[in-house]
């Protein structure tokens, strides 16, 4: 999930390494990045940059890692090979960290609980100022949310996994045969259905027609209960993105005009 502040770090690309410098006060982001790189270097070597050095504390935390080949998947439609490679990489990632190790990894930020809290805080701010299409979609989304069961106690993760925590396809590098992953500042213990929804519903996955969600999701062996959970999470994240896009600064927009209205239509399709 991309934060409302949009920018969390700067990146310096060197021939053999990447220096990632986080903004002041971002020790947690730096610690999550370093933890993820270290875990994957141990359990899935080659899937992500190798960790080289870190200065996790101080005014501007720094993490240094190897530089990976490839170009980001975002910006054009993924073909069949790229879709298959992306699914294969994620399948490897989700199976990489052993259960006993994963149990000791903190839960990722912007999990179900945090997103539900955000929606409740955003609603009084966004709903009165929204245009008719967006407002109608928000109302439908909130009505669905009230009956979804997502807020009930005792919610159990069906398939716990280590998740990158950011579905932006720009963080997935294609080298012509394989996909590798960068950017782990929001990573942590998660649920496979939630992480898959994070990718399919990220605005970057569909705004350019990039990812065929059905073809992508068909490559994962999901049981009936997990598919039902995935549908819930996709609707939740689509609703979150509708709020995020509605909060876009009109004076400095990050997305083309009409993106919020397109997101409203997408949410309504997911709601059925």
pTM of the entire structure? Answer: 0.95
Q: What is the mean pLDDT of the chain?
A: 94
Which of 57-66, 191-200, 259-268 has the lowest average pLDDT? 57-66
Task: Answer whether residue 4 shows pLDDT above 50.
Answer: no
Average pLDDT over residues 37-55: 97
Q: pLDDT tens digits for 223-251? A: 999 999 999 999 999 999 999 999 988 88
What per-residue confidence (pLDDT) applies to 9?
87
- Say which residues have a Cβ less than 8 Å from residue 77's Cβ, sequence separation at least 6: 208, 209, 210, 211, 212
Average pLDDT over residues 96-105: 98
* Domain covering 69-271 in this structure, CATH number: 3.90.1200.10
Task: Answer whether residue 220 shows pLDDT above 90.
Answer: yes
DSSP letters, 194-240, are: HHHHHHHHSHHHHTTS---HHHHHTTS---HHHHHHHHHHHHHHHHH
Task: Answer whether residue 5 shows pLDDT above 50.
Answer: no
Beta strands 17-22 and 51-55 are: unpaired
Task: Answer whether residue 58 shows pLDDT above 60.
Answer: yes
Average pLDDT over residues 88-93: 98
DSSP letters, 132-163, are: HHHHHHHHHHHHHHHHHSTT-TT---SSEEEE
What per-residue confidence (pLDDT) applies to 1?
47
Round to whole Å and give the CA distance between 238 and 233.
8
Round to whole Å and give the CA distance between 190 and 132.
35
7 pLDDT band, cuts 50/70/90, is: low
Task: Answer whether residue 77 shows pLDDT above 70.
Answer: yes
Round to whole Å and give the CA distance between 92 and 64.
24
Percent share of the chain, pLDDT over 70: 97
Task: Answer whether residue 3 shows pLDDT above 80.
Answer: no
């Amino acid at each position: 999930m991309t934060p409302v502040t949009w920018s969390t770090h700067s990146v310096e690309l060197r021939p053999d390494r990447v220096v990632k410098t986080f903004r002041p006060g971002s020790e947690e982001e730096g610690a999550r990045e370093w933890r993820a790189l270290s875990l994957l270097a141990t359990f899935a070597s080659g899937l992500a940059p190798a960790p080289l050095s870190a200065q996790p504390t101080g005014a501007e935390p720094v993490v240094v890692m190897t530089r990976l080949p490839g170009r980001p998947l975002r910006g054009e439609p993924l073909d069949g090979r790229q879709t298959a490679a992306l699914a294969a990489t994620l399948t490897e990632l989700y199976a990489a960290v052993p259960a006993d190790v994963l149990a000791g990894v903190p839960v990722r930020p912007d999990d179900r609980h945090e997103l539900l809290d955000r929606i409740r805080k955003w609603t009084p701010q966004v709903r009165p100022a929204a245009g008719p299409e967006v407002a109608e979609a928000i109302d439908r989304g909130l009505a669905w949310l009230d009956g979804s069961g997502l807020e009930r106690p005792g919610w159990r993760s069906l398939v716990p996994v280590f998740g990158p925590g950011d579905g932006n396809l720009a963080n997935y590098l294609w080298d012509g045969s394989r996909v590798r992953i960068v950017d782990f500042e929001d990573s942590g213990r998660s649920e496979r259905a939630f992480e898959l929804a994070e990718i399919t519903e990220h605005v970057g996955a569909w705004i350019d027609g990039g990812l065929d969600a059905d073809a992508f999701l068909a490559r994962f062996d999901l049981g009936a209960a997990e598919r039902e959970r995935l549908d819930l999470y996709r609707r939740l994240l689509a609703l979150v993105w509708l709020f995020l896009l509605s909060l876009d600064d009109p004076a400095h927009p990050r997305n083309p005009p009409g993106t919020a209205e397109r997101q409203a239509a997408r949410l309504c399709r997911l709601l059925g």
